[in-house]
Chains A and B, each alone.
Chain A
Amino acid sequence: MKNKISLAILACGFLAASVLPAAPSPLAPFRRLVVLEQGRKKPMDTFARNLLKQLSGRSALEGRDASSWLARVLFTPQATTDDKIFLIDQPEVLSGLGLEGEGRGRYSFAELRPGLDKLHELAFQSARRGESGSERVESGFLRLFYNISAYYGLLHAFSFARPGEAGIADARGASSMPAILPLSAKTDEEWLSPAQANSHGAALPAALQREISLLTKAARAYGDNWSEFSQALEAFDRSLRGRLGPEAVSSGKISLEIMYNRLDPFTKAEMAYGLALLLLLLSLVFRRRLLERLSASFLFLGFIAHSFGLIARMLIMGRPPVTNLYETFVFVAWTAVIMGLIMAWQQKQGLGLLAGGLAGLVFLVIAGRYSLDGDTMGMLAAVLDSNLWLATHVVTIALGYAGCVVAGIFGHVVIVQEMLHRRSDAAVRSLYAVLAFGLVFTSIGTLMGGIWADQSWGRFWGWDPKENGALLILIWLAVLFHARLAGWIGHVGLAVGGIGATIAVVLAWFGVNLLGVGLHAYGFTSGAARGLLAFIIVELVFIAVSVPLIRKRKTA
């Protein structure tokens, strides 16, 4: 009883800490500004986070959140040239620019400025060589060039508002970021950045001119007079709504997205899963029931945060949970955690906690790495837009993937138990169950995918790499069940098969994507390919070492 009460208090504390409203900030109206970027209307807060992540690999700078960083860049640009925001992870890039330094880390604009001419030259060479020559270092130059260009554009985005600088921006061409001024009530048409709009001068409609003067007022008040800053931006927001209708900008979705950004539910879930694993480990060492229960509570808390994030994304985008690669990581992690929770609740065992905590943690970490590539809520290509079969088959396949991943984890458990002479039927039974789960859902998902392909492309099956990946998983699982039935493999074989299923899933999931490496996939893809290979090799070595050891003992 006492345990339960302490757990409840812990849970409330954890939840309250994350849900409490943010302290009122003069930047609130700035965060709420609606930006059109890459086809999507998003709050300035998201724009700032994605940009800062793209530049520096982080979503905050020295304890300040991305929005306050962006506001400084826009309104007091000279104060930001010493901020270390440009992530360089290859020493060759820095030395290529003729600059001194360790070569890995974050550098400021002021530090990089002496190498800009050289960078310009190298980036153009890389771009001309195109995809075929996209070595890691070359894409490093290109990436740094894009990042500095983006930053440079932002430095001058509000030049027009600063007395004495007005001419500079016009001379260099107006920065196209951030696009916050919709031209007409057809809000999906054209949005201009303040600098672009300002360059039209007197040709602009009166309402837009008034809005620009409000932005100018805000830009000048920034840092000196916070109440005037907020008031000007609020007036700007009112003006947009008056012009375009209340739903066109600052709808509930924008508020929800700002809350989603602030709560950062997936990072919270990650921490909770990590804690759950740690407590599980401690419970194995100290054999305390309480530790195991604590571990279960953290897994559950992480699950709540995780679910909140998943649902918030669905509401913000108005689409099913899995529509891009990023979301597959989040969703497979979520499914594995549910499976783990059910098992932990049903069997009162650490197995479920291990599976849920480990899969949840690993895939959320991968998702976090992947999110550095840009907006994770990007728009969809035409083929992928709104189709019932598409939505359902991707979600179903993801369930199957989760089953196979958990089977891999249990495969390790069974083998380790076997090596330590501690065989438990529960692990074998759970392994069997999750393999069957994986087979059922991968089958259903693959068939649904076939139906989708027939509906939209004219063939049920076309030996496309993604289809082949799913088929490979299915065949492998079918091999396992039939070989078990034929008596060719025992439970150790099944355990090895579970690990094999995970490898098949990983191949189908990212291996297939890696076959056609795209330009936008720099960084993650090259890192992922090596990670993938390392994972497969480690697993094969594990199998090659452990299975003969078990065999030897059995025959001895």
Chain B
Amino acid sequence: MLIKFFRSLASLKLTVVLLLLMAALVIGGTVYQAGSGIFAAQAKVFGSWLIWVAGFVPLPGMLLVSLLLFLNLLAAVFFRLRYRWRQAGLLLVHYGLLLLIGGGFFITVTAREFSLTLNEGQSSSALASADHHSGAVLPITIKLLDFTKAMHPGTDMPKSFSSRVEIAAGGSRRQAVVSMNRPLRYRNYTFYQSSYAEDGRGGESSTFLVVRNSGRWLPYAASALLFLGLAVHFLAMLAAALKKPHPAEERPLS
């Protein structure tokens, strides 16, 4: 009975329906976001199980659709996909997607975002959470030594900005630089250069986005599987296309 249920869960038509639902949510969420901002869209569309329209009509939210798609994919991997060498690329792609969606759930549940603002010379290990309700304490102490920014010549456009910090962990101290696109990592914590402020008297402060995420590697692993699968599939397709001689006498298009 259960097996039969799972078999029917592997249905291709279910895949198509779920994907179309997902597409509708992506469009709706994006348009909603343009009017109401990313946080509202997260709460209402992308991070929700059910969306209540007009207070009483429930629509599936992105989490629910993703979960169903995950189950559909899982069932497909067991019951529908054919394990042949020719399909190797596609198999890898489907396993990669399984890991990507599963990893996404794991991170949604476990990861936390904080912010940390330091004046030059100040040190701290207390993190403020993004929603201002609860903070956290870092296992290390961070001290902002110096903040620097460079402008494109003759413009107000910042070319780069970066913070030199000192990390005190246990008894050891070391220096590090956090800049745009070059975050600092410490165990499960990652520090990103987020913004800065000047107090007008030459003093500067720097704000970091701090992310605690123990599943950070999951999308990378999934991406690796997907890259490999797509490459294998693409090369197989290419080989097939080049091997198959095309009838030269086919009429020009009309």
A426:B250 contact, CB within 8 angstroms: yes
B180:A475 contact, CB within 8 angstroms: no
**Which of chain B's residues 214-254 have a Cβ closer than 8 Å to chain A?**
216, 219-220, 223, 226-227, 230, 233-234, 237, 241, 246, 248, 250-254
Tell me if A459 is interfacial: C-beta within 8 Å of chain B: yes
Residues of chain A contacted by B16 (CB below 8 angstroms): 479, 482-483, 486, 488
Residues of chain A contacted by B13 (CB below 8 angstroms): 486, 488
Q: Which residues of A contact B (CB under 8 A)?
A: 36-39, 179, 188-191, 283-284, 287, 292, 346-351, 354, 379, 381-383, 385-387, 390, 413, 417, 420, 422, 424-427, 433, 436-437, 440, 443-444, 447-448, 450-451, 454-465, 468-469, 471-472, 475-476, 478-479, 482-483, 485-486, 488, 512, 515-516
B180:A383 contact, CB within 8 angstroms: yes
Residue with the greatest number of chain A CB neighbours at <10 A, chosen from B13, B154, B226? B154
Residue with the greatest number of chain A CB neighbours at <10 A, chosen from B12, B34, B220, B252? B252
Q: For the complex formed, measure the closest distance between the CB of B206 and the CB atoms of chain A, giving whole angstroms.
A: 14
Given the complex of chains A and B, what is the CA–CA distance between A465 and B27 in angstroms? 9
B155:A39 contact, CB within 8 angstroms: yes
Q: For the complex formed, measure the closest distance between the CB of B230 and the CB atoms of chain A, giving whole angstroms.
A: 5
Given the complex of chains A and B, what is the CA–CA distance between A124 and B99 in angstroms? 56
Residues of chain B contacted by A424 (CB below 8 angstroms): 250-251, 253
Given the complex of chains A and B, what is the CA–CA distance between A516 and B38 in angstroms? 13
Residues of chain B contacted by A38 (CB below 8 angstroms): 152, 154-155
Tell me if B104 is interfacial: C-beta within 8 Å of chain A: yes
Q: For the complex formed, measure the closest distance between the CB of B81 and the CB atoms of chain A, giving whole angstroms.
A: 11
Residue of B nearest to A450 (CB): B219
Tell me if B141 is interfacial: C-beta within 8 Å of chain A: no
B154:A191 contact, CB within 8 angstroms: yes
**17 A-B residue pairings within 8 Å (CB atoms):** A38-B155, A39-B159, A354-B253, A386-B181, A426-B246, A444-B227, A447-B226, A448-B223, A460-B219, A463-B30, A463-B33, A468-B27, A476-B23, A479-B16, A479-B23, A482-B15, A482-B19
Q: For the complex formed, measure the closest distance between the CB of A348 and the CB atoms of chain B, giving whole angstroms.
A: 6
Given the complex of chains A and B, what is the CA–CA distance between A479 and B15 in angstroms? 8
Among A189, A420, A479, the residue within 8 A (CB) of B153 is: A189
A468:B219 contact, CB within 8 angstroms: no
Residues of chain B contacted by A469 (CB below 8 angstroms): 30
Among B12, B153, B227, B250, the residue within 8 A (CB) of A39 is: B153
Contact bitstring B136-177, A, C-beta under 8 A = 1, else 0: 000000000000000011110111110000000000000000
Residues of chain A contacted by B181 (CB below 8 angstroms): 383, 385-387, 390, 455-456
Q: For the complex formed, measure the closest distance between the CB of A431 and the CB atoms of chain B, giving whole angstroms.
A: 12
Residue of A nearest to B35 (CB): A515
Tell me if B197 is interfacial: C-beta within 8 Å of chain A: no
Among B19, B26, B153, B158, the residue within 8 A (CB) of A36 is: B153
Residues of chain A contacted by B161 (CB below 8 angstroms): 382
Residue with the greatest number of chain B CB neighbours at <10 A, chosen from A37, A39, A386, A424? A39
A382:B180 contact, CB within 8 angstroms: yes
Tell me if B205 is interfacial: C-beta within 8 Å of chain A: no
Known: A39-B152, A433-B237, A486-B16. A284 touches B180 (CB 8 A): no
Tell me if B9 is interfacial: C-beta within 8 Å of chain A: no
Q: How many residues of B contact A (CB 8 A)?
A: 56
B254:A475 contact, CB within 8 angstroms: no
Given the complex of chains A and B, what is the CA–CA distance between A349 and B161 in angstroms? 53
B219:A463 contact, CB within 8 angstroms: no
Given the complex of chains A and B, what is the CA–CA distance between A342 and B152 in angstroms? 42
Known: A292-B252, A463-B41. 13 other contacts (CB 8 A): A38-B152, A350-B252, A350-B253, A354-B253, A379-B152, A382-B180, A387-B181, A420-B254, A436-B234, A463-B42, A485-B12, A486-B12, A488-B13
Known: A179-B154, A379-B157. A450 touches B223 (CB 8 A): yes
A468:B29 contact, CB within 8 angstroms: yes
Known: A189-B153, A455-B181, A456-B181. A475 touches B23 (CB 8 A): yes
Given the complex of chains A and B, what is the CA–CA distance between A483 and B19 in angstroms? 10
Tell me if B126 is interfacial: C-beta within 8 Å of chain A: no
Residue of B nearest to A479 (CB): B19
B237:A454 contact, CB within 8 angstroms: no
B230:A444 contact, CB within 8 angstroms: yes
Residue of A nearest to B45 (CB): A463
B154:A37 contact, CB within 8 angstroms: yes
Q: For the complex formed, measure the closest distance between the CB of B194 and the CB atoms of chain A, giving whole angstroms.
A: 9
B157:A385 contact, CB within 8 angstroms: no
Residues of chain A contacted by B8 (CB below 8 angstroms): none
Residues of chain A contacted by B159 (CB below 8 angstroms): 39, 379, 382, 385
Given the complex of chains A and B, what is the CA–CA distance between A476 and B12 in angstroms? 15
Tell me if B75 is interfacial: C-beta within 8 Å of chain A: no
Tell me if B183 is interfacial: C-beta within 8 Å of chain A: yes
Residues of chain B contacted by A413 (CB below 8 angstroms): 253
Q: For the complex formed, measure the closest distance between the CB of B51 and the CB atoms of chain A, giving whole angstroms.
A: 14
Given the complex of chains A and B, what is the CA–CA distance between A347 and B252 in angstroms? 10
Q: For the complex formed, measure the closest distance between the CB of A400 and the CB atoms of chain B, giving whole angstroms.
A: 11
A468:B154 contact, CB within 8 angstroms: no
Tell me if B120 is interfacial: C-beta within 8 Å of chain A: no
Known: A440-B230, A447-B223, A457-B192. A465 touches B30 (CB 8 A): yes
Q: For the complex formed, measure the closest distance between the CB of A172 and the CB atoms of chain B, giving whole angstroms.
A: 21
Residues of chain A contacted by B155 (CB below 8 angstroms): 38-39, 379
Q: For the complex formed, measure the closest distance between the CB of B18 and the CB atoms of chain A, giving whole angstroms.
A: 10
Known: A39-B152, A387-B181, A479-B20. A464 touches B38 (CB 8 A): yes
Known: A348-B248, A485-B12. A515 touches B34 (CB 8 A): yes
B211:A451 contact, CB within 8 angstroms: no
Q: For the complex formed, measure the closest distance between the CB of B195 and the CB atoms of chain A, giving whole angstroms.
A: 11
Given the complex of chains A and B, what is the CA–CA distance between A431 and B34 in angstroms? 34
Given the complex of chains A and B, what is the CA–CA distance between A515 and B35 in angstroms? 9
Residues of chain A contacted by B153 (CB below 8 angstroms): 36, 39, 188-191
Among A426, A455, A482, A486, the residue within 8 A (CB) of B183 is: A455
Tell me if B129 is interfacial: C-beta within 8 Å of chain A: no
Residue of A nearest to B159 (CB): A382
Among A191, A440, A482, A515, the residue within 8 A (CB) of B233 is: A440
Given the complex of chains A and B, what is the CA–CA distance between A384 and B133 in angstroms? 33
Q: For the complex formed, measure the closest distance between the CB of B156 and the CB atoms of chain A, giving whole angstroms.
A: 10
Residues of chain B contacted by A475 (CB below 8 angstroms): 19-20, 22-23, 26
Tell me if B113 is interfacial: C-beta within 8 Å of chain A: yes
Given the complex of chains A and B, what is the CA–CA distance between A405 and B158 in angstroms? 35
Report, nearest first, the 5 A-B pairs whose CB atoms are least far apart: A39-B152, A486-B12, A456-B181, A460-B219, A458-B211
Given the complex of chains A and B, what is the CA–CA distance between A451 and B183 in angstroms? 13
B160:A417 contact, CB within 8 angstroms: no
Residue of B nearest to A483 (CB): B16
Given the complex of chains A and B, what is the CA–CA distance between A38 and B152 in angstroms? 8
Q: For the complex formed, measure the closest distance between the CB of B159 and the CB atoms of chain A, giving whole angstroms.
A: 6
Residue of A nearest to B249 (CB): A348
